[in-house]
Amino acid sequence: MVSLAGMICAALSAVCFGMLAVLGKLAYGMEFQPAEILQYRFGIGAVLLFVWFAATRRDVLRARPKTILKAVFLGVVLYPVQSLSFMTSLKYIPAATTSLILYFYPVAVTLLSALVFKTRLDRIVAISLLLLVAGCGLVFFDAFLRDINRTGLMLATVSMLLFSVYLIFLEWLLRGENPQSISFYCVLSAAVVYTIMSPPVRFMELDMAAKGLTLALGLVPTALAVTLLYRSVELIGSASASICSTLEPITTVLASALFLGEMVVGIQVAGMALILVGIVLPNAQALRLKRP
C-alpha cells in the first residue's frame, strides 16, 4: 500500500511539473511578460512552501548558513537564467516542442557526469542515450519541417543545457545536505530575483481569471510538484520516482493539445516515445538491481 501511495505521489508530481509550459502559454494569452510569469510562480510558490514546511517539517526551514549559501547560488546564478530561457521560448514555439527539447537533458547530464565525476557509461546507459538522441532528433526534425521559430528552438536548447549544468551542480552541492532545504531556499532565492526584475505591482489590477492563473503557477508546477516529489522519494526511492517522471512530457503534450489546441503529429509522438523509453530504461535497471 505504501508503494502504491509513493507511485501515485510521483505520478502526480510529474503531472504538476508537466503543466508549467501549458500554464505559461495561458499566461502569455493574458499578456503576461516572461519575468512576470516567473515572479508569480516562484513568489507564490515560495510562500506556499514556507507555510507547508512550517506546518509539517520545520527542520527543513532551520538550515545551516552553508546550506542557504548553496541554495542562493543555485537560485540566483543558475536557475533564473534557465527558467527565463524556458519561459521565453514558449513565446515562440509550441509548449510540447519546448518540453520535449528539455527532455534531452539526461544525455547532457550523463555526458557531463562522465566528464566531471568520471561516471562509467555501461551498455544500458549507452542504449538509453542513443534512444534519447534519436527521440530528440525526431522532435527537432519535426520542428524544422514545420518551420517552427528558430529563436524559440535556440532558447529551449539553451534552457536544456543550463538545466543540465544546474543538475550537475545540484548533485555536487547536495552532498551531506537536506535536499528539501536546498529546494526551498533555491525557490525563495529565485523568487527574490524575479521580484526585483518584475515587482508584482499590477497584481491588484488583474481580473479573477488572471489572479487564479498566478495562483496555479505557484501551486501546481512549484509547491505541489516539489512536495509530492519528495514524498514519493521517501516512500519508493528516487529510481522508482524517476520512472514516473516520464509522465511529465506526456502531460505537456496532451495538455497542450487539449487546452491550447496545439497540433500533435506522428513524428512528434515517435520522438516522445523514444525519449520515454530512453528515460525509463536505466531507471528500471537501477530499480531491478536494488531488489534482492
Cβ atoms < 10 Å from Cβ of 51: 11
- Segment 128-140 mean pLDDT: 87
Determine which of 14-23, 97-106, 219-228 has the lowest per-residue pLDDT on average.
97-106
User: For the packed helices 95-102 and 247-259, what is the interaxial angle rounded to 10 degrees?
Assistant: 170
In contact, 233 and 7? CB cutoff 8 Å: no
User: Which of residues 233 and 61 earns the better pLDDT score?
Assistant: 61
How many domains does the chain fold into? Answer: 1
d(C-alpha 38, C-alpha 192), whole Å? 11
Given a cut of 50, is residue 211 above it in pLDDT? yes
Within 8 A by CB and 6+ apart from 121, the residues are: 110, 114, 129
Given a cut of 90, is residue 237 above it in pLDDT? no
How many whole angstroms from its chain centre is CA 177? 21
Task: Check: pTM over 0.85? Answer yes or no.
Answer: yes
User: Which of residues 233 and 160 earns the better pLDDT score?
Assistant: 160
What's the confidence (pLDDT) of residue 2? 45
Within 8 A by CB and 6+ apart from 209, the residues are: 30
pLDDT digits over 47-105, tens only? 999 999 999 999 999 999 999 999 999 999 989 999 999 999 999 999 999 998 998 88
Given a cut of 80, is residue 113 above it in pLDDT? no
Residue 291: pLDDT band by 50, 70, 90 thresholds? low
Q: Count H helices and E strands in the chain, helices first.
A: 16, 0
User: For the packed helices 208-218 and 20-29, what is the interaxial angle rounded to 10 degrees?
Assistant: 160
Question: 229 lies in which domain range?
Answer: 2-290
What's the confidence (pLDDT) of residue 112? 77
Contacts 24+ apart (CB under 8 A), 214-218: 214/40, 214/44, 215/44, 216/19, 216/23, 217/20, 217/23, 217/24, 217/27, 217/37, 217/40, 217/41, 217/44, 217/45, 218/40, 218/41, 218/42, 218/43, 218/44, 218/45, 218/46, 218/47, 218/48
pLDDT digits over 147-181, tens only? 889 999 999 999 999 998 888 888 788 888 888 99
What's the confidence (pLDDT) of residue 287? 63
Given a cut of 70, is residue 288 above it in pLDDT? no
C-alpha cell at 149: 521559430
